[in-house]
Amino acid sequence: MINKHKKFLTAAVFCAIASTGFVLTASAEETMTHDLDEVVVEADKDALPGSYVKTKGSIGILGEKSILDVPFSNMNITQKTIETFGGPNQPLQSILANNPAVRIQGTTLHNDFSIRGIKGNGTSSYLNGIPGLMTQFAAPTFMIGDIQFISGPNSGITGIPSTYETTAAGGIVNFVSKKATEAPLTRYRQTFSGKGSFGEYLDVSRRFGKDKEWGVRINTELLNGNTAINSNDMEAQGIFANIDHRDKKSNTNLLVGYRHLNIEGGARWFSLKAAAIGKEITKVPSAPEASKNYGFDGLAKESEGYIIALNHEQKMNADWKWFLNASMNSNKLQRNIIGASSNFVIINDKGDVSNNLMSTQTVTKNYYAQLGINGNIKTGAVNHDVTLALDKAWHSIEGAKNMYNNGSMG
């Protein structure tokens, strides 16, 4: 019986193979006589699948480099990432959180973050490779096209930072402004977020000249309404223009802009009174509710300022070029009525906070200039990428004025 079964199974398998072979042959003949529709695949050769991250970016004075050609952690996120994750009320924190090395520490009042555990904010960030143009108070992102990260040691690859809040020891965040596109662009966008925050954004891009060597891109912002935090109102008005020129021997980029920002309420920073730990404070407080406003009537932060940033590269020959980076900005903190050191200090287990308040009006000005040369030197089979640069930063701050205590905060 066993042998008969083997013969039967062998015959069945042979018939199945023969039948299958016949079907495949017919299918192959049919496929050979059928023309497929045209398929067009479009992709950015410098972006990874999904177009959220780029494979190349500016590495300070080292210039444009691939992430595989630098000896440290480098991540370059695209405009698609910025628009996908950047909410109108807290855009910077939502965007930076896409980098695993970054932790968010800010609120609607500030844009503080940390890279590998070391604190940073707008004052330690770069704009088009230039330091000192951002502030700690809600950096704008509506005119930003790319954000480039360097995580870890970075001394020697950027200019000296003119910072008054933090250093850039944990890494570098470089914001790159939107440039004029090859094809004309006119886009109007509306946003709604929080409990009634409406935003309007206009993005216009044009190129001019025989070879489209001149480019202009205008971005505007109009934002007003309540955020997701109770009784937290935010309003902003801004306009930025990016003008660029390119030819066979040079590249020039000029960014100019103005922004006014006013926020009422929304304070959410807390700290523990050091002397009370182990005495009046015997336990870690519960985390604050996500939608609750821990501010007080009259809490406000308002500022306005302008930015001018210039980048220029000029080729001298096939191997050498010189470059210039220069900027100036002015920011006036018109109102800053908040807890001392911008946070509320918890003094006991009940959650009471100290009665120290501050009210400041501060004018901050930054100036920066960098001049250098970059070239390639060959010694046998080795290529040396050489950069020599000299830079200087000027920083001035007027304030803080009218410091005072305002009694108990409850």
CATH at 119: 2.40.170.20
Is 25 a domain residue? no
Q: Is residue 14 part of a domain?
A: no
Between the alpha carbon of residue 194 and those of residues 11, 87, 214, 261, 275, the distances in Å are 72, 9, 39, 17, 38
Residue 136 inside a domain? The answer is yes
**Residue 226 belongs to a domain:** yes
Give Cβ neighbours of residue 134 (< 8 Å, ≥ 6 apart): 121, 122, 123, 125, 127, 175
- Domain-located, residue 6: no
Alpha-carbon distance 23 to 365, whole Å? 79
CA angle 224, 229, 234 (to 5 degrees): 20
> Could you write out the three-class secondary structure of the chain?
CHHHHHHHHHHHHHHHHHHHHHHHHHHHHHHHCCCCCCCCCCCCCCECCCCCEECEEECHHHCEEEHHHCCCEEEEECHHHHHHHCCCCCHHHHHHCCCCCEEECCCCCCCCEEECCEEECHHHCEECCEECCCCCCCCCCCCEEEEEEEECCCCCCCCCCCCCCCCCCCEEEEEEECCCCCCCEEEEEEEEECCCEEEEEEEEEEEECCCCCEEEEEEEEEEEEECCCCCCEEEEEEEEEEEEEECCCEEEEEEEEEEEEEEECCCCCEEECHHHECCCECCCCCCCCCCCCCCCCCCEEEEEEEEEEEEEEEECCCCEEEEEEEEEEEEEEEEEEEEHHHCEEECCCCCCECCCEEECCEEEEEEEEEEEEEEEEEECCEEEEEEEEEEEEEEEEECCCCCCCCCCCC
- Tally of domains within the chain: 1
Structural domain that includes position 338: 53-398
Q: pTM for this one?
A: 0.78
Q: CA separation (Å) from 270 to 119, 284, 286, 325, 338? A: 16, 12, 11, 39, 12
pLDDT value at position 47?
A: 65
Question: Per-residue confidence of the chain (410 residues) as pLDDT tens digits?
Answer: 445 454 444 444 444 444 444 444 444 445 566 677 777 665 566 766 666 776 666 666 666 766 666 666 777 777 787 777 776 666 677 777 777 777 776 677 777 777 777 777 777 788 998 888 888 777 788 999 888 887 766 656 666 655 566 566 677 788 899 999 999 999 999 988 778 889 899 999 999 999 999 999 999 999 998 888 888 888 999 999 999 999 999 999 999 999 999 988 877 778 888 899 999 999 988 887 877 888 788 888 899 999 999 999 999 999 999 999 999 999 998 888 887 777 788 899 988 888 777 787 888 888 999 999 999 999 999 988 888 999 888 888 887 544 444 433 32
Cα(119)–Cα(388) distance, rounded to whole angstroms?
29
